[in-house]
Structure 1
Amino acid sequence: MDVELGHRILRLRERVVSNFDAGNWEEIGLLTGFSGLIKGHTRLLRSLHWGDEDYAGNALNVLNGIAAQNLDAIRVIESYCDEKFEEESHYISAKPSEKKITFCPSVFEVPNVQVESDLVAVMMPFDAGMSSVYQTIQNSCTHVGYRALRADNIWEHSVIIQDIFSLIFRASVVVVDFTGKNPNVMYETGIAHTLGKLVIPISQSIEDVPFDMRHHRVLKYLPNNEGLQALANELAAKLRQVSA
């Protein structure tokens, strides 16, 4: 698959995840002749129904399968989206939802940008002692085809919270490091959850993770060579699962 086609499919995946319900998938199946592939996928419609975090990955898997067999079918789906959803909505959440909300924050502005499917936003303390952890996260993301950025990598606004919000908004995945119980990280995690982002929590100590977050699987790591390598492997595995 060439790079241009890959980007087309990723953009189409974003529109599909943002807008499709089961009825839309059924209509696409009829229009393209791929009803069997869609209904036969073991997780697609189930993950859509239950709002599972792997729905975006399942949608991408189906679109890739269709593209591999018939490129004209991809054009049909693109035209279908143009007709059904005239104004392409921002792809914010990795999960579909029965309810949509419109919000107008007063502390920062909602950026006029699209979500970048390969972008991972990293929220962690701005501490020189954490530089090796951030480097590990960057290397792990690069290894599986993602880009990792933190707010100190960019400077687009005079107010740092605007850069942080814009970075979270653009990202498809947010990694949050709770090490040290940093209050800024807690605040940023709340933003990410409100925007419906897939949040991957990590920490050197489970005691640093807020009680309300402990029901989520936390990637616990040690800040030594062996521990950072283990973190890199676990994070890469999680990102592969998301993009599969």
Structure 2
Amino acid sequence: MVTKARHSQTPQTHEERIEAAVTKKKARNSRPFPAASFQEALEFAKAIFDFGSGQAVRRVSVFDHLQKSPESSASRQLITNAGKYGLTEGGYQAEFLKLTSDGLKAVDDELPPREQSRARIALAIERIDSFRALYERFLGNKLPLRAALIDAAKDAGVPEDLAEEAVDTFVINLRFVGLLQTLSGAERIVSVEHFLDTLPAKADSRVLSDFARPQLDQYRVENGAMVTAPKAEFDAMCFYITPIGEEGSEQRKHSDLFVSSIVEPALEPFGLKLVRADAIDKPGTITRQIIDCILQSRLVIADLSFHNPNVFYELALRHAARLPIVQISRTQERLPFDVNQMRTIRIDTSDIYSLVPKLETHRAEISSQVRRALDDPEAVDNPISTFYPALRMSIS
């Protein structure tokens, strides 16, 4: 008999965890911005558009089409976020969901690119008060340091405990809608007019297809050895599944760079210790210790670059356990079908000129996904949870 995974993230009792979750949810009700990126909400709006040909759709029917439970917390959050962005009408208890007029423009790929982009910018940035304030404050400048953005978010009325999340979502949205561009070797916040002038006035199927493709599909290791620890240590751990390779190899250099420059800085706000397999140094079976980390760590980040077979094996274990995971990869990899259905942060490492200007954006992308995974660890979305929702590994 398949039993539910036991994965305690705190030493609290079951009742205390429920009370803490309710308190946290109530506190989050005051969030003055959506709890996900615009791209994620747009993908949901696009599914509504495709399913109903632009007409209102039954909420239950569209989620059945998406093979998701309409009553799950993840599905409810999708509806809430789409509504906050102004893409859809109808709450998570409504019988029907309908796209707004701007929502229709944002998802209709037959519209001229300029008209579609104008609608997306209005919804993703201008409609959200805090995002609009940040955009207007830094318009025409290089993307400022994260600390400066956080201070500006607080000035714009974002509660202090939500400022980092607001900044991450703002930066991701800014890049997705085209207002954050690499110019003169740095990421700069450009005007709406500047961006729209780069687009064709009329729809062109080839150009529009390239533009409409989600642009987002596109750090410090602890010195010393890691010791196998009790549950409390796993609760403070993020295990990094990555191709490591031999000392001096391309894979080792790649992994070291991602750890030090992207992944660990993205984890800093969450207080999680990043652990890689080569940091495990304790007598015993290394394979058992790695599996312990995969199945018991609070979070796993998996780098799918180089199509390393060990990485995919370890990823499958985490999927089967239905525990929180964030996927990243180089843009040049063509991900296998089984895993490309999950959101993957794509990082262009083709040359230093493509990578360096976007480091801060990639950190924000990872932080945003980590935050969502930790806030709702039960809302795990992978092929196993989608097609076999009752299957769950037993972890003792």
Q: TM-score, normalised by structure 1?
A: 0.54
CA distance in 2, matches of 1:54, 1:164: 35
Q: Following TM superposition, by how much is the alpha carbon of 1:198 offset from its aligned partner in structure 2, in angstroms?
A: 0.9
Structural RMSD (CA): 3.8
Counterpart of 2:368 (choices 226, 234, 237) is: 237
- What letter corresponds to residue 199 of structure 1 in structure 2? I
1:87-236 equivalence runs, <5 A:
113-114=230-231, 116-126=234-244, 127-130=251-254, 131-135=256-260, 136-205=262-331, 207-223=333-349, 224-236=355-367
- What letter corresponds to residue 177 of structure 1 in structure 2? D
Q: 2:186 aligns to what?
A: none
What are the ranges of 5 or more consecutive residues in structure 2 without an aligned counterpart? 1-8, 30-68, 78-227, 245-250, 350-354, 376-396
CA distance 1:163–1:141, change in 2 (3 Å): same
CA distance in 2, matches of 1:11, 1:133: 32
Identity %: 19
Q: Contact (CA 8 Å) 1:122, 1:148: kept in 2 or not?
A: yes
Q: Secondary structure at 1:180's aligned position in 2?
A: helix
Q: After superposition, what is the alpha-carbon deviation per residue over 1:162-213, rounded to whole angstroms, capped at 9, x for unaligned?
A: 1211111231111111111000100010111122211111101374422111
CA distance in 2, matches of 1:53, 1:153: 38
CA distance in 1, matches of 2:235, 2:10: 7
CA distance 1:189–1:37, change in 2 (3 Å): closer
Q: Following TM superposition, by how much is the alpha carbon of 1:113 offset from its aligned partner in structure 2, in angstroms?
A: 4.0
Q: 2:221 aligns to what?
A: none
Q: 1:98 aligns to what?
A: none
Q: Following TM superposition, by how much is the alpha carbon of 1:140 offset from its aligned partner in structure 2, in angstroms?
A: 1.5
Q: Contact (CA 8 Å) 2:266, 2:363: kept in 1 or not?
A: yes
For structure 1, which segment, 119-128 or 218-227, has the greater mean C-alpha deviation from structure 2 after superposition? 218-227
Count of matched residue pairs: 162
CA distance 1:186–1:53, change in 2 (3 Å): farther
Q: After superposition, what is the alpha-carbon deviation per residue over 1:33-79, rounded to whole angstroms, capped at 9, x for unaligned?
A: xx99989987xxxx9x6264999xxxxxxxxxxxxxxxxxxxxxxxx
Q: Secondary structure at 1:155's aligned position in 2?
A: coil
Q: Contact (CA 8 Å) 1:54, 1:241: kept in 2 or not?
A: no
Bigger CA radius of gyration: 2
CA distance in 2, matches of 1:36, 1:166: 31
- What letter corresponds to residue 225 of structure 1 in structure 2? V
What are the ranges of 5 or more consecutive residues in structure 1 without an aligned counterpart? 1-8, 29-34, 56-110
- What letter corresponds to residue 128 of structure 1 in structure 2? R
Q: Following TM superposition, by how much is the alpha carbon of 1:141 offset from its aligned partner in structure 2, in angstroms?
A: 0.9
For structure 1, which segment, 206-215 or 193-202, has the greater mean C-alpha deviation from structure 2 after superposition? 206-215
CA distance in 2, matches of 1:37, 1:221: 33
Q: Following TM superposition, by how much is the alpha carbon of 1:122 offset from its aligned partner in structure 2, in angstroms?
A: 0.5
- What letter corresponds to residue 238 of structure 2 in structure 1? V
